Amino acid sequence: MSRATEFLLRRRGGERWHWTDVFTWFWLAGGLVLMFGPALWLVNSSFKTPAALAEFPPTILPYVTAQATVEGYDRPLPLYEVAGEDGRPRVLAEVRRIGIVAQMVDPQEPGETIRVNIRDRTPKRSVSFATDNYVEPFVAFDFLLYLRNSVFVTVMATLITLITNSMAAFALSKYNFTGRSAVMLLIIATLMVPLSVILVPLYSVISAMGLFNSLWGVILPTVATPTGVFLLRQYMLTIPDELIDAARMDKASEWQIYWRIILPLTAPALAVLAIFSVVWRWNDFLWPLIVLSRKEVYTLQVGLNTYAGELNVQWHFILAMTVVTMIPVVLVFIFLQRFITTGIAGTGLK
Partner 1 sequence: MANAAVGLAARAGAIILAPVGWLARVLDPPLRLMQKAGGQNGMVAFFLAPNMLIFGIFVLFPLVINIAYSMTGGSALFLEDRVFVGADQYRRLFTCGNYLDPGSCAEDLFWTAVWNTSTFVVFQVALMIGVALVTALVLNRDIRARSFWRAVFFFPVLLSPVVVGLIWRWILQREGLLNYMLHGIGLDPVVWLVERDWAFMAAIGVSVWAHVGFYALILLAGLQAIPKDLYEAAEMDGTRPARVFRRITLPLLAPNLLVVLVLTLIRAVQIFDEVYVLTGGGPGTSTLFITQYIYEVGFASLLRNPGLASAASILMGSVLVILTLAQLGIARKNEMRSKKG
In the list 38, 111, 240, 264, the residue contacting partner 1 (rule: CB under 8 A) is 38
What's the min distance (Å) between Cβ of 31 and partner 1?
6
Using CB under 8 A as the binding rule, the residues of this chain from 86 to 105 that contact partner 1 are: none
> Could you tell me where the DSSP H helices lie in 175-237?
180-190, 199-208, 215-223, 226-237
| Shortest distance, position 18 Cβ to partner 1, whole Å | 9
Q: Does 314 bind partner 1 (CB under 8 A)?
A: no
Instruction: Give burial (CB, 10 Å; 0-12/13-18/19+) of 72.
Output: exposed
Euclidean distance between CA atoms 50 and 64, whole angstroms? 10
**For partner 1, which is the closer residue by CB, 118 or 331?**
331
Report, in Å, the least distance between residue 227 CB and partner 1.
Answer: 13
Within 13 Å, how many C-alpha atoms sit on residue 317's CB side? 20
Q: How far apart are CA 172 and CA 176, in angstroms?
A: 8
| Under 8 Å between Cβ of 65 and 51 | yes
Closest distance between partner 1 and the C-beta of residue 147, in Å? 14
Identify which of 327, 316, 350 has the alpha carbon closest to the alpha carbon of residue 151.
Answer: 327
Rule CB under 8 A: say whether 42 interacts with partner 1.
yes
CB of 276 to partner 1, least distance (A): 10
Any contact of residue 322 with partner 1 (CB under 8 A)? yes
Distance CA 24, CA 26 (A): 5
**Residue type at 131 in one-letter notation:** T
Q: Confirm or reject binding of residue 196 to partner 1 (CB under 8 A).
A: yes
Contact (Cβ atoms closer than 8 angstroms) between residue 132 and residue 195: no
DSSP string, 292-306: --SGGG--HHHHHHH
Establish if 208 lies at the interface with partner 1 (CB under 8 A). yes
Q: Tell me if 7 contacts partner 1 by CB under 8 A.
A: no
Residues 236-295 close enough to bind partner 1 by CB under 8 A = 253-256, 258-259, 274, 279, 282-283, 285-286, 289-290
Beta bridge partners of 102: 97, 116
Contact segment (CB under 8 A) with partner 1 among 66-74, 95-103, 120-128, 216-224 equals 216-224
In the range 134-173, which residues lie near partner 1 by CB under 8 A?
155, 159, 163-165, 167-168, 170-172
3-state secondary structure of 278: helix
49 binds partner 1 (CB under 8 A): no
Stretch that binds partner 1, among 80-88, 91-99, 118-126, 198-206 (CB under 8 A): 198-206
